[in-house]
Structure 1
């Protein structure tokens, strides 16, 4: 294997504190630049010289996309005169103009270049490669900033084939159509189930079983999302207080101390993730809240929801309750977009609970590589020291592609599996209640329990249930119910309302 090129070379040669690129550019015995396996293979003849950092930045922008976490550290180390000379020689170069624009932003000073660059305006992020936000023109360099966020906090989401297929599927449009196709009473029951199941699953992900009071409080939070209240520190604090049962864990503001996540191992070895230091945490929360309040109306709401949810849990602005609130933010964002009406809720946490390993993998796409930039030392049984050895750009600019893809897949599952299966369950329940009532006289509360238990056992009334209800329900009812339940289950399990997949 040959040397590293582009972003990978900059990390090595400049000793940058940045997460490794997913597909590093490597000098290989090839005749043209091409993706082979997990790398971008580069012919020796076109690879920039090792010490020419500007050439490596140019190469990276042209062939690897925009990695602001690396550029934020690399560009300020370049002499401004080097860029002035480059733009003077190629005043219409889109890549040089992007570099000059970013250098001025990251260095907070202007290059000594009095002329006007030429050439048409250029997007910083290629819309064919990335999900992009609203465009803001920098007239000096004729560069349109179209990132997701601002240059203080900017997330990248690549248009992978998987993500593009999810965008084209129109999950939210299908969800609205499905709910609208249900009779009003059925719609209300399905939505009520969604709120309860979403609550139970969100707690279960945190390894908690909520009391009835705690569950009802969280259901109220979920319903509150339809109020479309903008995110503020006070609002998030109020939400955290409502989601947490222990009064001692309730926050008064965003955290002023360092927190962390850990597993069963002792000491520093057990620390799996460390979020940004308190001061940076507060700065990033201001940016994330601004993004979450605007983005639902500017781009696909599920993309905005994925960024808001995972962005929040990576910043972890509270000492407790972050995971639960991060999943609440999915609903908050979707409601703010106006995409969910009539109290509709997609039970995304139910889907996440069923796919916990994949949820963990999405979280670890950022948390695992970020952990290496903290020096964590055990002091005693009650305390550890946390020393951040990285650069703030680590938390300011992160790749949310995996996180957004996972969010959209779970929203799709919430509709296509969870919500549809529950609706089908309710329809079968109603059918069985009606069939039994037409032939036998069974007390309503007893029949309701029996039908649910029979359906939960795949159309079988167990010996234990038969014994339990003996003397309360005629014995032939059990066989009658079983026969009709199994006939229902044997039917082709097509979409209940004929909606196209």
Structure 2
């Protein structure tokens, strides 16, 4: 197959401006040379004309001495050595190479670690065995370089043929990857799971139970609010009870359908179960009703394979005690919402899955609720950018046409877009939400309840107020920043004297402020 030269001097590549003029190498060079229809990697590699090595948000810049041999093998080796494994891009490349061509590349150095990785990945991704004899000697090596990307460590599958340990954090039908960043390493080093367990150990069980009950309802309401809905109290409580049961039942197709039935209270206008039609998120043109997608869901014909792979990956990550729970929760929860297997309810189930994985991985104790949806609601713009980080690069690669009922019909093969993606941005966002929950939200709620109990004891002892009246009084004091309004004094609390009101206001300020 004829291709252009790999390493080309650039300042802009696919609308991404490089930090300086340099040579595009590694995955970027391969993508350009073969015109691969794959999303651009989040990080591209550039060889500088200067002797300076550094990183930016979208580039890693190397010195001239790092310049690879300007061949397919040279750039593949460079990519695996410095950029990690990009499964989606590799799959598109392998589809363009014939078996004889890739066999020749590997056979030049069949025992080399990068040749063996390419060999394994080709056969794993393509489901096709090359005419290369099995290796009969040599050390086993890990497929994923843990200096670059996060990987599994427990119960690894080994390939005697390639003498490789498969430590990918997923399976063939679903395997997102996560880059090892300074930010994620910082989050993991905080050991937030132990922090929350220490905090909870110091809290009275009654206060903790009330905190969890409040956060449960708060999270349920927030999850609907993110979707632009305001459900009645009983519906929010029903979904809250479902969140409270997260982690108890293993995820399966039937369990996902059960969760959807809880989310969709009235299925009159929603086709329940897995989609049997295409789907998208976005708007319709006001005049003609033509779809204007922000995200195109996986093709409905691909859902069986994708969901089976997603469930298998979830089981693999759950059993791997070494794989960080927040990383696993992000892969599973965001992977689900990107596939978007239902006509409705995907977003709320996606956020439920965060609770589920954290509990199954024993990151948090049973009965403790992480109000992830409430945190996301506070940071909605950031959350949407994280979702768009997946959707936008794929929109230009999905070929579609509008249908008669103003839906979309996907025309090309898109399954690998949902199987393989870089989830680093999604993981960093979720970890920041978990940190905020542990360091701020839960302690603040516990602190409030402890202060509320002090205020309640005071009002019980001196005024013998019923619980309902105490709650109303405290709410009015909160709204008045420690002072009772004239209307409340004249109406709900007309039985209190002016002196008693002043005493109550002073006590409130002493406790709460």
TM-score in same-fold range (> 0.5): yes
Aligned length: 487
Match of 2:459 among 436, 455, 458: 436
CA distance in 1, matches of 2:477, 2:319: 46
Please tell me whether residue 234 in structure 1 is matched to residue 254 in structure 2.
yes
Q: Deviations along 1:146-181, whole A, 9 cap, x unmatched?
A: 111112211111221111121122222222332232
CA distance in 1, matches of 2:106, 2:398: 38
Q: Indicate the SS of the match to 1:422.
A: helix
Of 197-206 and 120-129, deviating more is 120-129
Task: Tell me the residue number matched to 2:380.
Answer: 356
Task: Tell me the residue number matched to 1:26.
Answer: 46
Please tell me whether residue 450 in structure 1 is matched to residue 473 in structure 2.
yes
Q: Deviations along 1:404-432, whole A, 9 cap, x unmatched?
A: 22112212212222221111111111111
Q: Specify whether residues 294 and 75 from structure 1 end up closer, same or farther in structure 2 by C-alpha distance, changes over 3 A only.
A: closer
Task: Tell me the residue number matched to 2:277.
Answer: 257
- Root mean square deviation of aligned Cα: 2.4
1:128 is displaced (CA, Å) by 2.4
Q: Indicate the SS of the match to 2:246.
A: helix
Pairing 1:63-78 to 2, within 5 Å after superposition: 63-78=82-97
Pairing 1:126-137 to 2, within 5 Å after superposition: 126-133=145-152, 134=154, 135-137=156-158
Match of 1:110 among 126, 129, 145: 129
Q: Scaled by the length of structure 2, what TM-score is found?
A: 0.88
1:443 is displaced (CA, Å) by 4.5
Q: Indicate the SS of the match to 1:262.
A: strand
Task: Tell me the residue number matched to 1:186.
Answer: 207
CA distance in 1, matches of 2:151, 2:46: 28
Q: Deviations along 1:23-45, whole A, 9 cap, x unmatched?
A: 22234312476546742335567
1:291 is displaced (CA, Å) by 2.1
Task: Tell me the residue number matched to 1:493.
Answer: none
1:103 is displaced (CA, Å) by 1.6
Pairing 1:151-162 to 2, within 5 Å after superposition: 151-162=172-183
Q: Specify whether residues 126 and 18 from structure 1 end up closer, same or farther in structure 2 by C-alpha distance, changes over 3 A only.
A: same
Q: Indicate the SS of the match to 1:164.
A: helix
Task: Tell me the residue number matched to 2:26.
Answer: 6
Task: Tell me the residue number matched to 1:309.
Answer: 333
Match of 1:175 among 186, 190, 196: 196
Q: Specify whether residues 177 and 150 from structure 1 end up closer, same or farther in structure 2 by C-alpha distance, changes over 3 A only.
A: same
Please tell me whether residue 273 in structure 1 is matched to residue 292 in structure 2.
no
1:200 is displaced (CA, Å) by 1.0
1:326 is displaced (CA, Å) by 0.6
CA distance in 2, matches of 1:141, 1:405: 34
Q: Is the 8 A contact 1:352 1:410 kept in 2?
A: yes
Q: Scaled by the length of structure 1, what TM-score is found?
A: 0.90
Q: Is the 8 A contact 2:260 2:273 kept in 1?
A: no
1:320 is displaced (CA, Å) by 0.3
Match of 2:488 among 437, 450, 465: 465
Task: Tell me the residue number matched to 2:313.
Answer: 291
Q: Is the 8 A contact 2:260 2:349 kept in 1?
A: yes
Q: Specify whether residues 485 and 318 from structure 1 end up closer, same or farther in structure 2 by C-alpha distance, changes over 3 A only.
A: same
Please tell me whether residue 120 in structure 1 is matched to residue 142 in structure 2.
no
Q: Specify whether residues 103 and 202 from structure 1 end up closer, same or farther in structure 2 by C-alpha distance, changes over 3 A only.
A: same
1:82 is displaced (CA, Å) by 4.3
Q: Deviations along 1:52-87, whole A, 9 cap, x unmatched?
A: 323221221122111111111112433444444444
Q: Specify whether residues 217 and 485 from structure 1 end up closer, same or farther in structure 2 by C-alpha distance, changes over 3 A only.
A: same
Q: Indicate the SS of the match to 2:175.
A: strand
1:2 is displaced (CA, Å) by 4.2
CA distance in 1, matches of 2:201, 2:270: 39
Q: Specify whether residues 290 and 191 from structure 1 end up closer, same or farther in structure 2 by C-alpha distance, changes over 3 A only.
A: same
Q: Indicate the SS of the match to 1:144.
A: strand
Q: Is the 8 A contact 2:272 2:342 kept in 1?
A: no
Task: Tell me the residue number matched to 1:96.
Answer: 115
Please tell me whether residue 485 in structure 1 is matched to residue 508 in structure 2.
yes
Q: Is the 8 A contact 1:261 1:272 kept in 2?
A: yes
1:391 is displaced (CA, Å) by 4.2
Q: Specify whether residues 90 and 34 from structure 1 end up closer, same or farther in structure 2 by C-alpha distance, changes over 3 A only.
A: farther
CA distance in 2, matches of 1:45, 1:442: 79
Of 350-359 and 428-437, deviating more is 428-437
Q: Specify whether residues 33 and 390 from structure 1 end up closer, same or farther in structure 2 by C-alpha distance, changes over 3 A only.
A: farther
CA distance in 2, matches of 1:161, 1:136: 29
Q: Deviations along 1:322-374, whole A, 9 cap, x unmatched?
A: 00111111112122223433422111111111111111122111112122222
Task: Tell me the residue number matched to 1:58.
Answer: 77
Q: Is the 8 A contact 2:219 2:373 kept in 1?
A: yes
Match of 1:345 among 369, 372, 375: 369
Q: Is the 8 A contact 1:350 1:418 kept in 2?
A: no
CA distance in 2, matches of 1:287, 1:80: 26
Please tell me whether residue 209 in structure 1 is matched to residue 230 in structure 2.
yes
1:379 is displaced (CA, Å) by 5.4
CA distance in 2, matches of 1:389, 1:476: 77
Q: Is the 8 A contact 1:254 1:282 kept in 2?
A: no
CA distance in 1, matches of 2:479, 2:349: 31
Q: Is the 8 A contact 1:76 1:106 kept in 2?
A: no
Pairing 1:363-378 to 2, within 5 Å after superposition: 363-378=387-402
Q: Specify whether residues 403 and 415 from structure 1 end up closer, same or farther in structure 2 by C-alpha distance, changes over 3 A only.
A: same
Q: Indicate the SS of the match to 2:399.
A: strand
1:468 is displaced (CA, Å) by 2.6
CA distance in 2, matches of 1:425, 1:34: 46
Match of 1:395 among 418, 421, 430: 418
